[in-house]
Every structure is written in structure tokens, then in C-alpha cells.
Amino acid sequence: QVHLAESGGGLVQAGGSLRLSCAASGRTSNYVMGWFRQAPGKERDFVATISRFGLSTDYAESVKGRFTISRDNAKNTAYLQMNSLKPEDTAVYYCAADLPPRGQAAQVGYWGQGTQVTVSS
């Protein structure tokens, strides 16, 4: 069993940056980890995944070049660095563990509780 806790969300102006963290209770090196986001009235969408030891990453086209996923297995923590934020990035961001690379929400084994990111124009 893995428990995930996100932090780092907040309100930022367009063009700004935020760094999300996901602290896990279990051993994260056992799992692919990822980030998803869900805007009001929309489905939970894939944002990024990172392989077990960080050698491979995948990104949604909408965030490629602006977001960077990383992990520190010694700290059982994953990160999402978000730069050049846009109002359309506004959503609740969820940390995920135990999923295939570029996996869909239905394939996720463990979820965090989510953290709100709001980007003002």
C-alpha cells in the first residue's frame, strides 16, 4: 500500500512557475509515478510520467517543453516543475503511482488527494 500526499499548489500569474511535490509513504522506486490534472467539469487527464529510476519521461503535448517531472527515490518523492504557466493549466493536480508510462487515469493504482493550481491571466 502506498499513500501519496501532494503539496506546492497555489495561485500564480500567467507566465509564472510552481513546483509540485508528491511525498509517498512507501518505496517509490517500485513504481512508475506520474501527474494528472482535472479541470472543473472535465476528465482527469495525463500530464506526465517518469520511469522507476528516472531514466525515461513522457509528457502530454500541452505541457511538453514547459513542465518537467522528476523523482528522488531516496526521499520517496516525485516532483513536477511547471514553468510558463497558462490560465488553461488551471486544475487540481493529482500525483499517481503504479501505472504504465503515458497511462490513463483508469490504469492508476494509487492516487494522492490533489492540489489546486490556479493561473490568473
Q: How far is 105 from 87, CA to CA, in rounded Å?
A: 23
Cell of 67: 513542465
Three-class SS state of 41: coil
Q: Which of 46, 61, 33, 18 is nearest to 102 (CA)?
A: 46
Amino acid at 84: S
| pLDDT tens for each residue of the chain, 121 residues long | 899 999 999 999 999 999 999 999 978 888 999 999 999 999 999 999 999 999 999 999 999 999 999 999 999 999 999 999 999 999 999 999 999 999 999 999 999 999 999 999 9
